[in-house]
Amino acid sequence: MVRYMNIQDACNCKVCFSDFDDQDHRARVLACGHTFCASCITDMIKNKNGTVACSNCRSEHTLTTATDLNVNYLIDEMFSEGQTDSAPAQTHGQDLVQVPVPAQAPVPAQAPDCHVDKPGCPKLSAGVCDDHGQYLLFKCGTCDVWICQACTVVEHPREKCSVLSIKKAIEDMKTNATNNISSQIAKCEAALAKLNSYDSELEEQVQSHHNYLISQEAVMSHCRETMSALETEQHRACKEREECYGAKQDLEALVGRIDDTFTLQEVNDCLQDARQVEQTIDNWTKHFEDNFPNETLVSKSKKVEMMSGVVQQLVSWDATTRLQEQDLRQVVQAIKRTLLQALVKTREVYAVVEREHQMYLPLTYHDNTFIFGPVQHHLHSPQAHLMSLQELLSESGAVYAVVEEGARCSLAAQVTPTGAGYTLHPLLHSQVPPHSTKIPLLETLVRAGLVVGVEEESGRGGVASLSCLHTQPPHLLCLHVLRYHPPPPPPADSFKISYRHLHQMIGESTVEVFLELAWGGKTRGRVYMKVDVTSGRGQQFLMLCTGEGGFSYVNTKLLSVGNKGHPGEFLLGGDYENNDGSGGAALLAGIPSAPGLARPLTAGLLSGHNHSDKSSQFLIYTKDLPGCKDYLSFGKVREGLDVLVSAAALSDPREATVEDCGVIVSL
């Protein structure tokens, strides 16, 4: 049966008779299912101290505020949107709406997600609720079912379930459907992109093999031409050999005739015939020397043979199709090495190093080993083949930096590529394995300015350059001061060696350091000194020569000259802090100011300052003081005393500065 409800009655509160709205008089549903405006419910809460009695069924409800109750979305949907399918029946001039009322048989509900289009049913409806007989105007997103207004209070309360209006649910369904379809379209586009890429790769491979077949045909044609030329040359050589053999037989027969002669006339006849044969032989010999062998043809033939053999190995499908990627890389490396070997055997090959000016490193091949020679600053062969050092190293296999004494390898360090340069592993007493590459550490790398010492363990990071001190054994290197703040970047193709490893090779008791002095805008020379590093002052002096503590003597001035022109003359310097004589604090704790080992005061003696707050300053005597001793000395000048004497003779010794410093490393 169908009961008609007056719309005017449905859209106002049954307590205050005010029309429902979306503000103070918004429709709120009690747990019993009856609806009143928020304003009346608020008044009930105040009057009854939180207890509200329904004016329809008198059931009591405990509330704090009206917002604790659910909104009657049926009234919101019906009267705020005003959507009905057909005009309602008229009764006494008032608008009525059909409300289904269950009788003996419930009204059959429409299937979810189906649009209901029947008289009295809103368009935005999913049918009729089987339990409550109301329109399914909501959807529970939590339970994924269509529900009515009563369901939002009992079975699907909003504090437990996510309830959406049918309008919002339809929008979400449309959005989800659009997103799903868009996702599938994206998958199709991604698959098409892969297929297009794959098709391009296949096309590229087809074209590559097509070009390869054409090039192979050209190679085969070249091989046939070379073989034809070789056969022609072989025929010509055979003909020349027959002529030579005939001339030899004529000469042998002439020798027999001479043995059988008895008269002068017979001897003269033999000599005349001999002169004719000799002239023939001379002409033939000149012709042979001018035309045999054909070096160009033979060299070309050998190159073609080698290249053909390499190509044949590479395209041997039975082998290459079963190789893994790592194996293929090894095959490629072996082919590169073979090609480089053929190149070195047929031409002069040089590695080009770009610095302030170009340098050239000659490459040779001997005993299955590529060997780089000493650096050359001029290229003497204009026909030489030039390649970059990185390219040659990448194609020549394992690389070792070596220190050799004659034909014997005394030290070797494996070289590995790191970024834009190379790293030298620790130098060890070991031999270089065959099928590798040798680079002389001193004659090539250091003299070319390619090797740097790098300190990274301290966290600050520093770079120290290396230079050769001597070329003959013992092999000595100058390890220059570490540069920080920031360190100069190593060259892109540099070979880096651990500063810590180099430092371990300088000795534990007596080491040799150097100071390089300059004045008047010119470098005047180096002062080499033996330093006792078992003493605190000696160890501190070494640190300031190497820059390991973050400070160094670089750019410090010579401060003054003591006893100038008299016995016991000395130079004072080493204020790394203030550079005026007021600084030079100790880098190491516990350096005593009390007298130590007494040494005769002679020219070249290296000593320390007697003030404890200036213990990093140093004194170097330039004149003897007979009969006197120094109790703070810790070293002696080995070479370069003349540089110090010249500095002491300056009108102002502060013109002289330490331009560079470092320590000597013995390999």
Q: What is the pLDDT of residues 157-175, one digit of tens each?
A: 888 899 998 888 999 999 9
Phi, psi torsion values for 345, nearest 5 degrees: -70, -25
Q: Of the ranges 110-124, 177-191, 463-477, which one carries the lowest mean pLDDT score?
A: 110-124
Across the chain, mean pLDDT equals 82
Q: Are 25 and 75 in contact (CB under 8 A)?
A: no
Contacts of 238 (CB under 8 A, 6+ apart): none
Q: How far is CA 487 from the centre of its chain?
A: 20
Percent of the chain predicted with pLDDT > 70 = 84
Say what the pLDDT of residue 95 is. Answer: 41
Tell me the whole-structure pTM to 2 decimals. Answer: 0.54
What are the counts of helices (DSSP H) followed by strands (DSSP E) for the chain? Answer: 12, 33
Strands (DSSP E) found in 295-418: 349-354, 358-366, 369-372, 385-388, 398-405, 408-418
Q: Kindly state the tokens that stand for 68.
A: 């604790």
Measuring CA to CA, which residue among 553, 539, 515 is closest to residue 641? 515
At position 194, the amino acid (one-letter code) is K
Residue 105 confidence (pLDDT) above 80: no
Tokens of 540: 């501190």
Tokens 């006339």 identify what position?
265
Comparing 112-121, 251-260, 481-490, the range with the smallest average pLDDT is 112-121
Q: What is the CA radius of gyration of the chain?
A: 52
pLDDT at residue number 306: 62
* Token couple for 99: 């409300």
**Which token pair is 651?**
């009108």
* DSSP symbol at 117: -
- Quickly tell me which residue has 């027969």 as its tokens: 253
User: Which range is least confidently modeled, 80-94, 149-163, 454-468, 578-592?
Assistant: 80-94
pLDDT one-digit tens code per residue, 355-407: 778 899 999 998 888 999 988 888 888 888 899 888 888 888 889 999 987 77
Tens of pLDDT, residue by residue over 213-261, are 887 787 778 778 878 888 887 888 888 788 778 877 877 787 777 777 7
Give percent of the chain above pLDDT 90. 29
Residue 84 burial (C-beta neighbours within 10 Å; 0-12, 13-18, 19+): middle
Report the distance separating Cα 56 and Cα 533, nearest Å.
Answer: 106
